[in-house]
Amino acid sequence: MSSKQPPAETGRNDFIRAMVVSDLESGKYGGRVATRFPPEPNGYLHIGHAKSICLNFGIAEEFGGTCNLRYDDTNPETEDERFADAMAEDIRWLGYEWTQKLHASDCFEQMYEWAEQMIREGKAYVDSQTLDEMRASRGTVTEPGRNSPYRDRAVEENLDLFRRMRAGEFPDGAHVLRGRADMAHPNMLMRDPLLYRIRHAHHYRTGDEWCIYPMYDYAHCLEDAIEDITHSLCTLEFRNNREVYDWVLDAVGIEHPRPEQTEFARLNLDYTVVSKRKLIQLVDGEFVDGWDDPRMPTIAGLRRRGVPPEAIRTFCDMIGVADVDGRVDYGKLEFAIRDTLNWTAPRRLCVLDPLRVVITSYPENAVEWIDAPEFPHDVGKPGSRRMPFTRELWIERADFMEEPVRKFRRLSPGVEVRLRNAYVVRCDEVVKDPATGEVVELRCTHDPDTLGANPADGRKIKGTIHWVSADHSLPCEVRLYDRLFSVPNPDDVEEGASFTDHLNPESRIVVTGARIEPAVADDPAGTRYQFERTGYFASDPVTSEPGSLVFNRIVPLRDSWAKRARVT
RNA sequence: UGGCCCGUGGUGUAAUUGGCAACACGCCUGACUCUGGAUCAGGAGAGUCCAGGUUCGAACCCUGGCGGGCCAACCA
């Protein structure tokens, strides 16, 4: 792809879209396509959710359908408005807009009425067993369960009890409402599924209006039905729930055509975790600096790191959708990021580990403002910034070797290199600290005819290095981020170990003495750049300020030199 | 051990539904280059988990194995 346009309409043809197409052709839903993204507002959205968002909103876009944002807020104990708001922000940032924003809690009354209807029709009953009794009578995967002693309560008694549950007459755990399905069903989830539990807890939206709350298996399908969803997409681990989904719909009398559940594989990404539980542990255990730590796989973390939303959507397109579990190369995300940034991020020069260079042939107080293009020729986008060239410069310490290794194309004694966007210089003298022997300064001469031109005598310059003016460059802090974990699958831990044992100790390296060219001073925080030869960076939206600049590394550049060095 | 689901290059997905296994990432060569980036050209890498069967023909259908995932929260 890259220079070409993304595959757009030719690309996406997964089994779900194929199903949508076939439903459209058969007229099953009268030409309607309605999806929804149904997060529980109990944490932050992550890259795995992004896959689901791209799928649901993407399908709606492609087929002229609708996609709702629906909060599955049926568990008051874990949910919070701040999570809900952050989720909405993340979805918008990804570039999607919902048709309607809805809440399961808006439907509590309707769900309650359906529950009473089920009771009246003998399809649900109030069970008064304790949690342990219920667990014991549910059986196991190989043995059938036993009917609850309360299973045959009279309708009137069930109704009375259920109403009193709602009225708050009972403490948590005293009773539950159960569907009368089949305690011997081979699918454990069908053994009289719990429909309602008592929970005297404050709900962030309904307050104390309710003290009974519907369970996922009861609420989710009904929410879908109320919203007139056509394709209810969820991840593979809900496969067994589908039977309950259909059972509940039947029980309350939802007629066809009605929402149908289809499962797809959740995203597993190398070198990170995407389970909410583990993400919470990382935050609470202060292994990271919060939900938006740039190392987190959360949308907020990726955003803070500087990853553009288009890159995440490109990534989701690349990985596709299937019903097979797997895990995706971290490199694929990096590719998607580089591929969008290469065409959008203006170039700057930044020296991470400065080594002083004095151009002895250049006048003492002269300043030359060089016009340097924002993008290289092959990107072909207009624009330029001005770079001050002076007698004293900083270059990258790693770009000099007193005794160069084979194929080293940078600076060494007697060798010429191109200073990016400026002159060709030659290293004449190496100044060392007499005490330590450390190289402290390079004394070079420049070829004054090589600004914007190759040497007139035709000699070839084999390397180009980056630099900044010693006087005009700005000090800055640069945070080099790497993968959060040092193993591809942190979920795979041996007995007694924790996934946090595999945290990469070098996932963040803070460089404090870096110097950057002045043409970033007035940019708003969050601006993305390519620091040439180094990587893609963005100023940190939280901590970077005009006087004290902070840059986050989004992703390094591909580096075939480093790769060669590693191999040989 | 019961039920449900899934096995295609290193990775992620395709294969017009029974017709020469394709695309992307990654990897390797080379060209080009004022980024060891980008771009361009080329290459290696699976015979589709295994064994049978049906068929002129099977990744696709059937049977049996093997391997993996999910399910016994008053979570979602």
Helices marked H in A100-154: 108-120, 131-137
At A28-60, the pLDDT tens digits run 999 999 999 999 999 999 999 999 999 999 999
Which nucleotide is at minimal CA–C1' distance from A335? B25
| Distance between the alpha carbon (CA) of A24 and the C1' atom of B34, Å | 55
Q: Does position A192 have pLDDT exceeding 50, yes or no?
A: yes
Which nucleotide is at minimal CA–C1' distance from A465? B35
| Distance between the alpha carbon (CA) of A410 and the C1' atom of B44, Å | 32
At A498-557, the pLDDT tens digits run 999 999 999 999 999 999 999 999 999 999 999 999 999 999 999 999 999 999 999 999
At A245-299, the pLDDT tens digits run 999 999 999 999 999 999 999 999 999 999 999 999 999 999 999 999 999 999 9
Instruction: Print burial letters for A446-478: b (CB count within 10 Å at least 16), e (below 16).
Output: bbeebeeeeeeeeeebeebbbbbbbebbbebbb
Question: Of A197, A276, A385, A391, which one is the catalytic site residue?
Answer: A276
CATH code 3.40.50.620 region(s) in chain A = 7-264
At A342-387, the pLDDT tens digits run 999 999 999 999 999 999 999 999 999 999 999 999 999 999 999 9
Give residue A497's pLDDT band: very low, low, confident or very high (50, 70, 90): confident
- pLDDT for A433 equals 97
At A448-494, the pLDDT tens digits run 999 999 999 989 999 999 999 999 999 999 999 999 999 999 988 87
| Distance between the alpha carbon (CA) of A51 and the C1' atom of B12, Å | 13
- pLDDT for A568 equals 57
Tell me which nucleotides of strand B come within 7 A of a protein CB. 1-8, 10-15, 17, 24-28, 34-40, 68-76
Nearest residue to nucleotide B39, by CA–C1' distance, is A378
| Distance between the alpha carbon (CA) of A319 and the C1' atom of B75, Å | 29
- Average the pLDDT over A312-323 and give the result: 96
Q: Does position A65 have pLDDT exceeding 80, yes or no?
A: yes
Which nucleotide is at minimal CA–C1' distance from A132? B74
Give residue A563's pLDDT band: very low, low, confident or very high (50, 70, 90): confident
Q: Catalytic site residue A266? A: yes
Which nucleotide is at minimal CA–C1' distance from A270? B11
- Average the pLDDT over A56-83 and give the result: 97
Which nucleotide is at minimal CA–C1' distance from A174? B74
Q: Please compute Rg for chain A using Cα positions.
A: 31
| Distance between the alpha carbon (CA) of A497 and the C1' atom of B50, Å | 35
CA distance A28 to A99: 22
Which nucleotide is at minimal CA–C1' distance from A216? B76
Question: Of A266, A338, A347, A385, which one is the catalytic site residue?
Answer: A266
Q: Catalytic site residue A209? A: no
Cis peptide before A257 (omega within 30 of 0): yes
- pLDDT for A518 equals 98
List, in order, residues 6 or more apart from A304 with CB less than 8 Å away.
A292, A293, A294, A540, A541, A542, A552
Distances (CA, A) of A352 to A362, A466, A481: 24, 10, 14
Residue matched to tokens 């097979």: A324
Q: Catalytic site residue A40? A: yes
Instruction: Print burial letters for A292-308: b (CB count within 10 Å at least 16), e (below 16).
Output: bbbbbbbbbbbbbbbbb
Class of domain A276-346+477-567: mainly beta
- pLDDT for A6 equals 29
Helices marked H in A168-321: 216-227, 241-252, 276-284, 299-305, 309-319
At A228-248, the pLDDT tens digits run 999 999 999 999 999 999 999
CATH code 2.40.240.10 region(s) in chain A = 276-346+477-567, 351-465
| Distance between the alpha carbon (CA) of A215 and the C1' atom of B43, Å | 56
- Average the pLDDT over A387-408 and give the result: 96
- Quick one: what percent of chain A has pLDDT higher than 70? 98
The CATH-assigned architecture of domain A351-465 is Beta Barrel (2.40)
Q: Does position A495 have pLDDT exceeding 90, yes or no?
A: no
At A102-120, the pLDDT tens digits run 999 999 999 999 999 999 9
CA distance A126 to A162: 7
Nearest residue to nucleotide B26, by CA–C1' distance, is A331
CA distance A58 to A204: 30
| Distance between the alpha carbon (CA) of A238 and the C1' atom of B52, Å | 35
This prediction's pTM: 0.95
Which residue type is seen at A306? G
Give residue A447's pLDDT band: very low, low, confident or very high (50, 70, 90): very high
Question: Of A12, A36, A40, A305, which one is the catalytic site residue?
Answer: A40
Nearest residue to nucleotide B13, by CA–C1' distance, is A320
Nearest residue to nucleotide B7, by CA–C1' distance, is A324
CA distance A71 to A69: 7
For domain A7-264, which CATH number applies: 3.60.15.10, 3.10.20.30, 3.40.50.620, 3.40.190.10? 3.40.50.620
Q: For A473-533, give the secondary structure using H, E and C.
A: CEEEEEEEECCCECCCCCCCCCCCCCHHHHECCCCEEEEEEEEECCCCCCCCCCCEEEECC
At A133-188, the pLDDT tens digits run 999 999 999 999 999 999 999 999 999 999 999 999 999 999 999 999 999 999 99
